[in-house]
A = this chain, B = another copy of it.
Amino acid sequence: MDRFSVTYRIRADDDADANVRAEAIAIEDTLEIPRDVVPSGYIEDVVLGNVQSVTAKGNGVWTANIGYHIDAVGRELPQLLNVILGNASILRGVKAVNLIPNDDLRTRFSGPRFGAAGLRKLTGRASGGYVCPVIKPQGSTSETLAQLCYLTAVAGADIIKEDHGLANQDAAPFQERVKACASAVHQANQERAGQGDTSRALYFANIGGHGDQVREFAYRAKDAGAGGLLVIPGLFGFDAINRLAQDPDLDLPIMAHPSHLGPYVLSPDHGYGHGMLFGQLMRLAGADISVFPNYGGRFGFTQEECTQIVEACRDQKGIGPAILPSPGGGMSVERLPDMAQHYGEDCVYLLGGSLLRYGDKIGDAIREMRVGVGGTNA
């Protein structure tokens, strides 16, 4: 295939209108000029998007496949998003729902560094779901947060995720906090090893700071001993993930957080399909773990939407290795066995605020989670 393609869900009046709209998207996301002034030759033949099919789906909805040549993209992820859904994101009734990569796309955007298989090695957790407490709330001191890290890590957590609201505030500045937390997790891991545990907890630091400090903060986290990074593409851009994932010296797994991205999926008529955004695009960008709100929690994702995300994370034909879905948002220890039934073992099970109810006995909650999600050490 000389083009990768994107499937759009389009609202239209009839077949003719659907075709007009599909052609409009193909122009809008590449040349953005009226069709009658498109220069012939290279620009028309290669750079211009190419409508490959338009299919009626009923109820005023059509789908259209549009092919794009890698020349319209270049080598940088921001321009890829411009081509997939740049100006077309502002057209009414246009939603991107599927990305079909070609070799050009796979070559230039190779996806995650570790993926699901890599996380098994890094954690030493041979089977079962991953237990992932979220350390919070912001406003706590670094010392308090580090203590939560220690208690959850020593009790057997696989991944200790910082709350996405722990940025660089005065109560617990990034540098101080990450050093304290990484050190606490290191201490817990040593104690686990001393008891013959062959698995270990990875501490994922949330990249706070300014937009142009992502790399600097990532290296500060690594130097402090963090085992992974939490990145928010809705605030820092999807390429922030990609640049960290492609950095061979950094070599840390990345967890993507959905904050600020809700409007891209909540409308049936605009933005991205759930599987495309939280599965395909996170994976293309290089996330090893994709966090999203679980169905039945306080956010309104349906079970089907969550299944779409999981399938895109694990799709054998996706970009790079399969990655780990990570449902969260208003979960409880009690719900975990049911969730484990639904999501299976290649999944990072987030548990946040409700863990705080356990107080000093938070380790008990981690051990209950472990039972809920099953699994053995390596």
Number of copies: 2
The residues of B that contact A43 with a CB separation of less than 8 Å are: 137, 139-140
Q: Do residues A212 and B240 form an inter-chain contact, with CB atoms below 8 A?
A: yes
Judged by a CB distance under 8 angstroms, whether A357 is at the interface is yes
Instruction: Say yes or no: is A129 at the interface (Cβ < 8 Å to chain B).
Output: no
Give the docked Cα–Cα distance between A299 and B72 (Å).
Answer: 22
Taking CB atoms, residues of chain B closer than 8 Å to A296 are: none
In the complex, chain B residues whose CB is within 8 Å of the CB of A164: 32, 82, 86-87
The stretch of A54-62, A115-123, A167-175, A307-315 that contacts the partner chain: A167-175
Interface string of A20-47 (1 = CB under 8 A from B): 0000100001111110111100110011
A71 within 8 Å of B (CB atoms): yes
Q: Which of B34, B77, B238, B243 contacts A353 (CB 8 A)?
A: B34
Determine the chain B residues whose CB is within 8 A of the CB of A235 once the complex forms.
78-79, 81-82, 86, 237-239
Tell me, in angstroms, the Cα distance from A356 to B29 when the chains sit together: 18
Closest Cβ of chain B to A328, distance in Å, is 10
In the bound complex, residues from chain B placing their C-beta under 8 Å from that of A270 are 262-263, 266-267
Determine if B167 and A82 form an interchain contact, defined as CB atoms under 8 angstroms apart. Answer: yes
Within 8 A of B (CB), among A197-251: 208-212, 214-215, 232, 234-240, 242-243
CB <8 Å contact, A32 and B163: yes
Are A138's CB and B72's CB within 8 A?
Answer: yes
Chain B residues within 8 Å of A329, by CB: 90
Residue positions of A touching B, CB distance < 8 A: 24, 29-34, 36-39, 42-43, 46-48, 71-79, 81-83, 85-92, 136-140, 163-165, 167-171, 208-212, 214-215, 232, 234-240, 242-243, 258-264, 266-267, 269-271, 293, 298-300, 329, 352-354, 356-357
